């Protein structure tokens, strides 16, 4: 299932891992994603920095609120105060080119009198949000918040992940004139072994929260497998939440959970726009080992702009991931439909309507099966999903009508990726921000 020439890239341990995690070919046709997880409870390599552990809490389910059309203006009595007085709770990491991140900003919502500076919206509107922004990763300091994974790809891609210094020096990462973070891939026409790219791990470890990610552009094209996701430790026991992910010429986002044994979805409680995917295994079972790594997945069959070319055509938008006592929900708002409360940094998920994906807590305690997560961006090529024979050679699912083999004229993904750098001009992320919010009531 792995194109032979990628074996050259792999250490023996990774080859063994790939064999252990092999799954029936048909499991991936129209089915669920292959996990990014670091498989079999082993890490081939440690991340650059081991995230700080936090205590888990055990919370119970709360009833889902129905959408109310209630972006009601309220008196301006809350303001976001930027504090740079001390180290933030999480950033204490070097970043590979000498920037001290110890003074990373943190935010505190502060109640003030009505004569205090108004809340942050241009309209002066403030919202009755139960979420407070704790981290705002954007602009020139965006890359200070991430560690670069510069080892082999755990998903066996035809990729060569580079460290921060190399990425910077070779122009794979940059901040553009809009202040957005760019993560590109090497577009040299012919390369050996793997194509250069980046995989970055967020230097914040969290258990529950609301994460907003605004990307103007995402990587597209045959051979690509980009993703924005989060992982816990000791995979799959700390859980994996695949938030924005797909391969090749998909136009539909595939959202998936991968967990230890015991986490199940209850269909009657899932209120969502997307469709639960099916595969060779029980699609309600999120456990990786019991489903040959299938996990439980939702495909966004509702939007035409939730992934790929459609996503880029509309200038992207905001993906919201809420992980609290209700469970895990993911929303997608394209550039033209971003709620004002999100723009105002006072998110009101209860007003956002039906999410794309809804993984209720009913039979999956969101603090037992998920803990100590950190976010990840990557762009890999081929590998376990995009490059699998039955994915490269077939189409008719996830909005892709023609196979990549037919579209490119190459019979293997790796051959195509290694010999067509020009085809990857659009295989880049342009990220406006990643924002983290916390709540004393929702979690
Ligand atoms: C100020 O905000 C708090 C908390 O959001 C709210 O309970 C209170 O009613 C607000 N006060 C005014 C004067 O709007
Ligand atoms: C967060 O970052 C965005 C993008 O750089 C910026 O527009 C916004 O003002 C920041 N928010 C705060 C509270 O500093
Ligand atoms: C929110 O606070 C809880 C409790 O302190 C913590 O476990 C969690 O990691 C925080 N989430 C974020 C996104 O900071």
Q: What is the pLDDT of residues 191-214, one digit of tens each?
A: 999 999 999 999 999 999 999 999
Q: What is the pLDDT of residues 266-281, one digit of tens each?
A: 999 999 999 999 888 8
Is the Cβ atom of 393 under 6 angstroms away from ligand 1?
no
Name the closest ligand to CA 77.
1
Catalytic residue among 245, 326, 345, 430: 245
Name the closest ligand to CA 435.
2
Residue 240 annotated as catalytic:
yes
- For residues 410 and 393, give the distance between their C-alpha atoms in angstroms, rounded to a whole number: 9
Quote the ligand 1 centre to 127 CA distance (angstroms).
Answer: 10
74 band by pLDDT with thresholds 50, 70 and 90: very low
Q: Which residues contact 216 (CB under 8 A, 6 or more apart)?
A: 178, 180, 315, 316, 335, 430, 431, 432
Quote the ligand 1 centre to 76 CA distance (angstroms).
Answer: 8
More confident residue, 290 or 2: 290
Q: What is the residue with the minimal CA distance to atom 1 of ligand 3?
A: 438
Is the Cβ atom of 379 under 6 angstroms away from ligand 3?
no
Phi, psi of 119, rounded to the nearest 5 degrees? -65, 170
125 band by pLDDT with thresholds 50, 70 and 90: confident
- For residues 280 and 294, give the distance between their C-alpha atoms in angstroms, rounded to a whole number: 8
Q: Annotate 174-227 with DSSP letters as a single string.
A: EE-TTS-EEE-----SS-SS-EEE-EEEES--BSSEEEEEEEEE---STTEEEE
Integer CA distances (angstroms), 242 to 47, 258, 366, in order: 18, 8, 15
pTM of the model: 0.76
Residues in the chain: 443
Rg for the chain, CA atoms, rounded: 21
Q: What is the pLDDT of residues 324-365, one digit of tens each?
A: 999 999 999 999 999 999 999 999 999 999 999 999 999 999
Is the Cβ atom of 374 under 6 angstroms away from ligand 3?
no
Pocket test of ligand 2: the residue of 122, 136, 143 to mutate, having most ligand atoms within 8 Å of its CB, is: 136
More confident residue, 300 or 76: 300
Quote the ligand 3 centre to 260 CA distance (angstroms).
Answer: 22
Lowest mean pLDDT among 1-10, 284-293, 398-407: 1-10
pLDDT for res 278: 85
Name the closest ligand to CA 90.
3
* Helix (H) / strand (E) containing 342: helix 340-343
Is the Cβ atom of 117 under 6 angstroms away from ligand 2?
no
Quote the ligand 2 centre to 81 CA distance (angstroms).
Answer: 11
Is the Cβ atom of 179 under 6 angstroms away from ligand 2?
yes
Residue 92 has pLDDT above 70, yes or no: no
Residue 245 annotated as catalytic:
yes
Q: What is the pLDDT of residues 29-54, one digit of tens each?
A: 333 445 654 433 333 222 333 222 22
Q: What is the pLDDT of residues 179-194, one digit of tens each?
A: 999 999 999 999 999 9
- For residues 237 and 355, give the distance between their C-alpha atoms in angstroms, rounded to a whole number: 25
């Amino acid at each position: 299932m792995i194109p032979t020439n990628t074996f050259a890239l792999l250490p023996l341990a990774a080859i063994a891992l790939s064999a252990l995690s092999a799954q029936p070919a048909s499991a991936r046709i129209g089915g669920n994603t292959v996990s990014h997880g670091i498989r079999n409870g082993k890490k081939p390599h440690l991340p650059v920095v081991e995230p700080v552990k936090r205590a888990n809490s055990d919370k119970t389910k709360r009833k889902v609120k129905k959408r109310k059309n209630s972006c009601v203006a309220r008196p301006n009595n809350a303001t976001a105060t930027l504090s740079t007085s001390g180290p933030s709770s999480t950033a204490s990491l070097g970043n590979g080119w000498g920037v001290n991140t110890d003074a990373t900003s943190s935010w505190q919502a502060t109640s003030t009198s009505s004569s205090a500076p108004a809340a942050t919206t241009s309209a002066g509107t403030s919202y009755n949000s139960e979420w407070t922004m704790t981290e705002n990763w954007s602009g020139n300091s965006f890359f200070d918040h991430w560690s670069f994974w510069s080892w082999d790809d755990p998903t066996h891609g035809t990729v060569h992940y580079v460290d921060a210094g190399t990425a910077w020096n070779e122009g794979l990462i940059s901040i553009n004139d809009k202040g957005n973070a760019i993560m590109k891939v090497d577009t040299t026409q012919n390369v050996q072994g793997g194509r250069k790219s980046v995989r970055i791990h967020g230097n914040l470890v969290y258990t529950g929260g609301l994460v907003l990610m605004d990307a103007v552009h995402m990587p597209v094209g045959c051979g690509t497998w980009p993703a924005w996701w989060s992982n816990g430790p000791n995979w799959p026991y700390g859980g994996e939440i695949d938030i924005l992910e797909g391969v090749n010429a998909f136009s539909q986002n595939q959202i998936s959970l991968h967990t230890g044994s015991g986490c199940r979805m209850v269909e009657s409680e899932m209120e969502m726009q997307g469709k639960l995917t099916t595969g060779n295994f029980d699609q309600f079972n999120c456990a990786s080992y019991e489903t040959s790594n299938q996990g439980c997945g939702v495909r966004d069959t509702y939007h035409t702009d939730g992934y790929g070319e459609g996503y880029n055509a509309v200038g992207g938008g905001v993906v919201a991931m809420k992980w609290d006592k209700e469970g895990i929900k993911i929303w997608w708002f394209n550039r033209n439909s971003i709620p004002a409360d999100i723009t105002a940094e006072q998110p009101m998920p209860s007003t956002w309507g039906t999410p794309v994906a809804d993984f209720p807590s009913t039979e999956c305690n969101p603090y037992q099966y998920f803990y100590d997560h950190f976010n990840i961006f990557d762009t890999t090529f081929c590998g376990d999903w995009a490059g699998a024979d039955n994915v490269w050679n077939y189409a008719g699912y996830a909005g892709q009508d023609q196979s990549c083999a037919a579209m490119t004229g190459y019979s293997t993904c790796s051959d195509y990726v290694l010999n067509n750098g020009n085809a990857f001009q659009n295989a880049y992320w342009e990220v406006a921000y990643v924002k983290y919010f916390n709540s004393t009531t929702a979690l």
